[in-house]
Chain A
Amino acid sequence: MTALAALIRRDIRIALRVGGGALIGVLFFLTVVVLMPFAVGPDLAQLARLGPSILWLGALLASLLTLDRLFMADHEDGSLDLITMSRTPLELACASKALAHWLAAGLPLIVATPVLGLLLNLDMVSTGAVALTLLAGTPALTFTGMIGAALAVTLHRGGLLMAVLVLPLSIPVLIFGVAASQAAITGPLSFGAPFSILCALSLVSLVIGPFAAAASLKHGLD
């Protein structure tokens, strides 16, 4: 446990220091959401209708943006070799890294959502619904994205490959995330069904992600 706590602490600390990835995601999220009203036009009702989708899309792209570095930095400086050799199972180390990434880069997106909701003419209830669905859905994005990040290290290709690999896995999360927020805001569908599926997607990826990423890293030993 000391080992995993140390890994989480280190990754969060690096992400929060100058040049770390934590702020980049939030800034990108902010940019996407701030630009969107200018692209959509001054129709406030339409903006409110599109709001949840815009927030979800922004959060998804922002979390993909920073994910490709998840293993790459450790691979480049040799840390990954030592992590692979250590007494900590690689699956748990992967899960810890993903958790640290979510805490440092995913959670700030959710915190920023209420502020950005104002820019999209969303009321309190709608913003709350989007923030809640993001809270339930972003772990799925991180933990499935981790598989792509591990493959990117193994295959010696950069972020572009990762985006292509992860995109199909993140589509269900996006669909059910937006569906749940829309259901909470306008109805007529119930909020419970899509939200439960969203939670299920997160739980499944929490289990599968670390194993798939560790398998990919072990297979790619080189």
Chain B
Amino acid sequence: MQLSGRGVTCVRGGREVFTGLDFEAISGEAMAVVGRNGSGKTSLLRLIAGLLIPAGGTIALGGGDTELTLPEQCHYLGHRDALKPALSVAENLAFWADFLGGERFDAAESLAAVGLDYTTDLPAAFLSAGQRRRLSLARLLTVRRPVWLLDEPTTALDVAGQDMFGGLMRDHLASGGLIVAATHAPLGIEARELRIGGMA
């Protein structure tokens, strides 16, 4: 499985963010998108996720499920965590598992894997930023998607959390997954670097 972009151009608000970007990532490999603030790291992830429309170029996933589009095979973990404060931890996770569909794993096990099994019935409104991030990570584990698009995934995670997350990413890559992460901080795993927007 390989994710490739050819001559991808992104225009936001009339300003060209990047042009003619070529990239390639193959399964079992992580790609770290680096660049200064405003260089278009998040925009690139959103282009891959189909949440932005490229002004030019193509992005394609080779060797994936031919029945599904690229966004349907992606997990997108953005700055906003898609959690409802009124619902409990377990309800939030169960909703996304039911809604996203596809191959699923046990939600309780995912919560245990991210270290949130003690707060299952707590409304998400009472979670700390780090706990919210952990709950978002549990979504990636509960529903299987081959491509993970991660935007600053280690934000708000403590040291133990970053170690835990490094382990999760290694497991995902070992099972043939593919990771594209926009990051400033070290990702915690081996990753090929894609620098956009010139030198910082």
For chain B, residues 5 to 36, give those with C-beta under 8 angstroms from any C-beta of chain A. none
B81 touches A78 (CB 8 A): yes
The CA-CA distance from A14 to B82 in the complex, in Å, is: 14
Interface size classification for chain B? 20 to 34
Known contacts A10-B95, A221-B51: A85-B86 contact under CB 8 Å: no
For chain A, residues 66 to 96, give those with C-beta under 8 angstroms from any C-beta of chain B. 76-79, 81-88
A84 touches B51 (CB 8 A): yes
Report whether over half of chain B's contact residues are helix, strand or loop; otherwise say mixed. loop
A87 touches B78 (CB 8 A): no
A82 touches B82 (CB 8 A): yes
> Which of B67-75, B114-122, B171-179, B183-191 sits within the interface?
B67-75
A86 touches B81 (CB 8 A): no
The CA-CA distance from A18 to B71 in the complex, in Å, is: 34
Query: Which of chain A's residues have a CB closer than 8 A to the CB of B150?
Result: none
Query: Which of chain A's residues have a CB closer than 8 A to the CB of B101?
Result: 2-3, 86-88
A85 touches B87 (CB 8 A): no
Known contacts A14-B84, A76-B80, A78-B80: A85-B72 contact under CB 8 Å: yes
For chain A, residues 1 to 35, give those with C-beta under 8 angstroms from any C-beta of chain B. 2-3, 5-7, 9-10, 13-14, 17-20
The CA-CA distance from A10 to B151 in the complex, in Å, is: 26
Assess whether B182 is interfacial by the CB under 8 Å rule.
no
The CA-CA distance from A79 to B83 in the complex, in Å, is: 7
Shortest CB–CB separation between residue B10 and chain A, in angstroms? Answer: 12
Instruction: Say which residue of B49, B53, B87, B99 sits within 8 Å of A81 (CB atoms).
Output: B49
B53 touches A221 (CB 8 A): yes
A3 touches B99 (CB 8 A): yes
A88 touches B99 (CB 8 A): yes
Known contacts A10-B84, A18-B86: A85-B102 contact under CB 8 Å: no
Assess whether B166 is interfacial by the CB under 8 Å rule.
no
22 contacts between A and B (CB under 8 A): A3-B98, A5-B98, A6-B94, A6-B99, A10-B87, A10-B91, A13-B86, A17-B86, A18-B86, A20-B86, A77-B80, A77-B82, A77-B83, A78-B78, A78-B79, A78-B80, A81-B49, A82-B100, A87-B101, A88-B101, A221-B50, A222-B52
Give 8 closest A-B pairs by Cβ, nearest first: A78-B80, A6-B98, A85-B71, A17-B86, A78-B82, A79-B82, A10-B95, A3-B99
